[in-house]
Each structure stands twice: as structure tokens, then as C-alpha cells.
Amino acid sequence: MPKTVVPLRELRAPLALPAVRDAPGPLADTQGRMLRDLRISVTDRCNFRCVYCMPREVFDADYKFLPHAAILSFEEIARLAGIFTGLGVKKIRLTGGEPLLRKDLHRLVAMLAPLGVDLTLTTNGSTLVKHAKLLKQAGLERLTVSLDSLDEATFRRMNDADFPVAKVLEGIDAAADAGLGPVKINMVVKRGVNDAQVLDMASHWRGTGHIVRFIEYMDVGSTNGWRMDEVLPSREILRMIGERFPLEPADANYQGEVAERWRYKDGAGEIGVISSVTQAFCRDCNRMRLSTEGSLYTCLFAQQGFDLKSLLRGGASDDEVRDHIAAVWRRRADRYSELRTAQTANLPKVEMSYIGG
């Protein structure tokens, strides 16, 4: 694993926005994929140092995070979100970093709620006890909590922070009590680190109404030292759980849904698996990502983004911004997960903490 890294925003300038051309009709990319989801990173900071996202040997005390003036304001985010909904976006997810480190995030939620989209948030759960009611009152519909183990030692090994798992569990309870349930719980599974806790995680949440989603360890960014032999394929996860609690496949909630759904045959709820390494889902990918400082990314594994902040702060109209976004989507041809090789996995890519998971 490299000891230092130059943030991608400094390694390469954002790509110039493509020339705008009149292209009436549905907003489809070169593979026929329709824009549906928008993920917005509201901060590049986090209070955890998860080994697969922000390893401490890189994101240490000397790491230079974005200054406040460089990140999009709530007003700028809300303006862009409104433009995206006009282009067909039905779901907005707020991410980070850890989004609840952004001061007064409930204010942004209240600004986005009137758009009428499915509004959700991904958090590490560390401050949910404090924020859950405010988020619900502001209009948040539901949320996802990242939780990689119920075992204290393994949990701390994964997040590399002095934070007890019990506090995250209290946060999940607080979210459910506030009306933000059922909560989705994401577990990134890394072979040899937390794979022994897969069955414990399934057993703990079975019958609670909450939904655990098991995620294959991915080669996101350039700092996590990813290796294919540390990936536990989702088929093995399903086998482990299914031998104890029989499962059956469930239909997707919508086309392009990332998680593959499985129900417990005895009616005790469901789980999900996200197989972006072993079963690429590029063919249905309908997501765009907006970085903390206003760059637009068309793939989680992208190397460069498109600068929207300069348009916003340069006086562009909503129509001009919309047309540029549409032009980016129409030329989109990303198929990283389908084409992944050992060589492409090691290419410099934007960090997940900067563009959101």
C-alpha cells in the first residue's frame, strides 16, 4: 500500500464539460442507460478511518482536506439537485466522507425534501442518536448505516477508530424510533478480516425488519491496497447464510437496483448482496455522483470528473447547467466493473471519501 497519495483533485484538473448539442428525447447514455439516481458527497471528512476507504496511513493528521470555501454550499447543492430532478433523477442519496460531520445537515435535507424524490443518506451511525429526529423532521425518508462487524475487536480493526460498536447500534435504534426504518445496514466483507462475522450479522438482524446488505470488497480509489484474494464472492456469502437460514431470490425494487435481494424462506425478512467485483452490474447503472467540491462523476471508479462548480459560480443559468449535465450523460460509456483487470484495478482513481459510495 502506498504511504502517501496526491488527492486526485490535485493530480488532474477536472475535465472540461462537453460541448452542448441539442439532443431531444429521453436522457440515455451511449449504452441506453437512463439517469435515475444522484449521489451527493457533502464532505470529504470522516471520523472513522475504515481500511477499505480512508486508511489511516494515508489519511493521517497531515492529510489536506478541502477548505470550507472550496466545497459546495447547501444552496448550490439544492440548485443542482433541482436541475437533476428535471433531468429524470428519482432518488438522491447524501454521502461523504461522513455526511453528518457537515454542520446543520438537516437544513440541506429540508431544502431537498420538496423536490419529491426518494431522499436518503448513508452514515457510519456514530452520531445518529443526536441527529435522527432532526433528519426525519427535515424530510429524510430513510437511511443506510455502514456497520462491518458486531464483534468489538473486528469492528475497531475495520474502522481503525476508538469507537464502540454499541454506539452505532444505539444510532440504528434511534433512527428506527424516529421513523427512518427499516434501516439498511451495509457490511463490506473483507476475506480474512471480518468474513467470520457474516453469519453473526445475518442472525442478529434477522426478524428485526432491518435489511443487511453484504458488499464485496472493491478496488475503489488508489489507497486501500485492494487485492482480489481478499474479495469474498457474494455467492459464498449466500451459501454461508443459506445453509443456516434458507433463502430464496426476491425481485428487484426497480431496474438498476445495486443490491440483489434474497428473502428468508420462513418470512423473517431479507438480505441483499452487492457483487460489483464478481457480478458486474454496469449494464444497468443509472447513477451520477456529485463530489464535495462540485465535480460530476459518471462512475464510482472514475479517474476524472467534470467541473460544475465553475458553471455555478460563473453565472451560468439553470438551463445552461442542465444542458451541460445532459451532454455529459449522453456521452457516458463507463463499464469499469465489466472490464476490470489486475492492471485497471491499480490505476489512480478518485477516492470514495471524495465522491461518495
pLDDT for 188 equals 92
Stretch 121-131: mean pLDDT, rounded? 97
Count H helices and E strands in the chain, helices first: 13, 12
Pairing verdict, β 37-41 and 260-264: unpaired
pLDDT at 60 over 70: yes
Which residues is 229 bridged to in the sheet? none
Q: What is the pLDDT of residue 13?
A: 58
pLDDT for the residue 333:
85
* CA 32/CA 201 separation, integer angstroms: 37
The dihedrals phi and psi of 42, each to the nearest 5 degrees, come to -95, -10
Helix, strand or coil, per DSSP, at residue 129: helix
Q: pLDDT category, 10, cuts 50, 70, 90?
A: very low
Place of cell 465522491: 355
CA gap 260, 10 in Å, rounded: 36
Q: Sorting pLDDT into bands at 50, 70 and 90, what band is 17?
A: confident
Report pLDDT for 350: 63
201-218 residue pLDDT tens: 999 999 999 999 999 987
Query: For the chain, which residues make up each domain, given as ranges?
Result: 8-355
Reported as type and span, the H/E element at residue 177 is: helix 165-177
Q: Which CATH superfamily is domain 8-355 in?
A: Aldolase class I (3.20.20.70)
Residue 272 has pLDDT above 90, yes or no: yes
Angle between helices 105-112 and 128-138 (to 10 degrees): 20
Q: In what order do the strands lie in the sheet with 306-307?
A: 247-249, 260-264, 270-274, 211-216, 184-189, 142-146, 118-123, 91-95, 37-41, 287-290, 295-297, 306-307
CA nearest neighbour of 95 among 38, 162, 165, 170 = 38
The answer to which of 44-53, 64-73, 117-126, 224-233 has the lowest mean pLDDT is 224-233
> For residues 262 and 219, what is the distance between their CA atoms, to the nearest angstrom?
25
Q: Which amino acid is at 45?
A: R
DSSP letter for 250, please.
-
Q: What single-letter DSSP state applies at residue 31?
A: T
Long-range contacts of 196-201 (CB under 8 A, 24+ apart): 196/154, 197/149, 197/150, 197/151, 197/154, 198/232, 198/237, 198/240, 198/241, 199/240, 199/241, 199/244, 200/150, 200/151, 201/147, 201/149, 201/150
Name the percent of the chain lying above pLDDT 90. Answer: 64
**Cut 0.75: pTM above it:** yes
256: left (phi over 0), alpha (psi -120 to 50) or beta: left
Alpha helices, H only, 178-298: 198-205, 234-244
* E strand segments, the chain: 37-41, 91-95, 118-123, 142-146, 184-189, 211-216, 247-249, 260-264, 270-274, 287-290, 295-297, 306-307
Q: For the chain, what is the radius of gyration of the CA atoms?
A: 20
Question: Residue 308 has which C-alpha cell?
Answer: 460544475
Q: In whole angstroms, what is the distance from residue 355 CA to residue 7 CA? A: 12
**What cell was used for 51?**
481500511
Residue 248, classed as helix, strand or coil, is strand
